[in-house]
Amino acid sequence: MENMNTEEKDPLIGSLFEDQNSHVHEITKRLSAGGQGVVYRTKDPNVLIKLKINVDPSTNEEIIVEGKKEYDTYVKSILSAKIIDVPKSVNITKPVAFLKSPQCGYVMRMLDNMVPIQKLMFTTNISEPLEHYKQTGGLKRRIEILAKFAKMFSLLHSRSLVYADISEGNLFISESADATATWLIDADNLEYRVHFTTCTGTPGYQAPEVANGIKNSTYSDVYSFAIVAYKVLTYKPSPFLGALQDTKNTETTDDGWEDDGWDDTEETTDPTILAEQGKLPWVDDPLDDSNRLKTGFPINIVSSPLMFDLFNRTFSKEGRENPASRPTMEEWYNVLNNATKALTTCNCGHTYFFKEKSCPFCNGTSSPKYICKVKNIFNLQKMLSDDEEVGEFVAKLTPEQSVSEVVMGFKVFDMKPNKQFITKEELFETFLTEENENLIEVEINQSIILRNISMSAFLIDANAKRQIIQPYTSLEIPLVDYFKIISYLSEIKSRKLEFKRRV
């Protein structure tokens, strides 16, 4: 359901609702609308109310769903979602009390100062898009937030759970531009994939198969998430509403006969409907430029090549018509998570990918930084020493030939006095369910100060001098052009971080 009313026009502002525990809640602000209702803030900043709403098609008026039969059915469906075993690291609000019968709705608790992710998207009342983009956290905060949501959806999908209604109104984020807390607020449709029997969603965010009447799936979740991500990053209204949105709304075949009760052949050309049905090329399709859109930020400056590949696999003709061809949410998380580390900060305040020669937002020159290349190192001699068939061959390898290196990603360390961190993800193998931790604090000023804030020891190699940085100790090295940090994982594998200075 679309957000039909503005906060000023919403007739429910100031209304009182009583829950089943006889607590009365006064609505103060409309927060968001999704496929299953509208969410409101109350006088208690930690309490939200979700109302199940239907829209009268003749008047466009929003009407609270009421009635004993409707209430009983609604409560039963919400209770089934409430008992689903959700991973602990997935922040999702759940009902704490239902409204009193016959009004269909419930009360839920939320952290203070949370707003819909819609606040990171472009709206027509934003007069200075470039400044607004920066003031709301820029590219770095946007990708960090999207990565957190991708991780939560990936964890849900790992348990075969479908969220079903991913949209701008159901994903909540910290209001402060300095924070990246993320919450899902609508668990109404959360269900195991094998049990899902309906198709639901918010217009503008539904996958084509759902818009065409096929039940929701993890594949449709991916599609909806990609639409949210695209709008947040590019400031464009949709991945599909480009040059072709100027076409006529409908096209009717007129065969010259008067209306005799037979159905005319009517084929819609409404771009919004065609987009939902998967019949329009996406605006950045590399194989079809018929639907380009000049407004917003170019996709190549707000996404890495790997991010663009995920968008294309989701929105291409193949992705629209074959849901199984879309990337998984875990792929989205891995790519977005790596992208957060490949960003640098310009003097203008914007963040951008370090491979750009200058800031694409102001054309300013790149500031000095260290580029850290994260590698997995494999010792082939030790890996294959027990294999008789290749043992003789391996024994003849030189030390250089016996080592295999695989690049895992990059991380940027700006040469500024603020504190930066090397995390567990960079130094060790981690699992999706693990929380990332800061292990080494990095301070770059007149020299480089490394503070080991973990219980592990690491090898530091700088200026051909090798030193061990013990747990909870510090090490200072000069501003060299190149240095390494090595974490030994096993006899056959280690993690190497190569730092190269770029001025």
Q: CATH number of the domain at 70, please.
A: 3.30.200
**In the predicted structure, residue 340 carries a pLDDT above the cut 90:** yes
The verdict on 316 and 395 lying in the same domain is no
Tokens of 122: 């472009």
The verdict on 102 and 125 lying in the same domain is no
Please state the separation of Cα 203 from the chain's center in Å.
19
* Cα dihedral 292, 295, 300, 303 in deg (nearest 10): -110
Please say which residue of 60, 95, 110 terminates a domain.
110
* The predicted structure's pLDDT at residue 393: 54
Task: Give the span between the Cα atoms of 137 and 124, in whole angstroms.
Answer: 19
The verdict on 88 and 65 lying in the same domain is yes
The verdict on 465 and 378 lying in the same domain is yes
The verdict on 296 and 400 lying in the same domain is no
The verdict on 235 and 164 lying in the same domain is yes
267-281, 391-405, 438-452: least confident range: 391-405
The verdict on 30 and 128 lying in the same domain is no
Higher-pLDDT residue of 129 and 366 is: 129
* The predicted structure's pLDDT at residue 45: 83
2-16, 226-240, 390-404, 485-499: least confident range: 390-404
Task: Give the span between the Cα atoms of 233 and 138, in whole angstroms.
Answer: 9
Give the residue-averaged pLDDT of 169-193: 89
Does residue 261 fall inside a structural domain? no
Confirm if 148 and 180 have CB atoms less than 8 A apart.
yes
**In the predicted structure, residue 302 carries a pLDDT above the cut 80:** yes
**In the predicted structure, residue 19 carries a pLDDT above the cut 70:** yes
Q: What average pLDDT is seen over the chain?
A: 88
The verdict on 76 and 35 lying in the same domain is yes
Model pTM score: 0.87
The verdict on 79 and 187 lying in the same domain is no
Domain coverage including residue 42: 1-110
The verdict on 474 and 419 lying in the same domain is yes
Does residue 96 fall inside a structural domain? yes
Number of domains in the chain: 3
Over the stretch 221-272, which tens digit does the pLDDT of each residue have? 999 999 999 999 999 999 999 998 865 444 444 444 444 444 444 566 788 8
CATH number for the domain harbouring residue 140 = 1.10.510.10
**In the predicted structure, residue 3 carries a pLDDT above the cut 60:** no
Task: Give the span between the Cα atoms of 413 and 436, in whole angstroms.
Answer: 18
- pLDDT band (50, 70, 90) for residue 281: very high
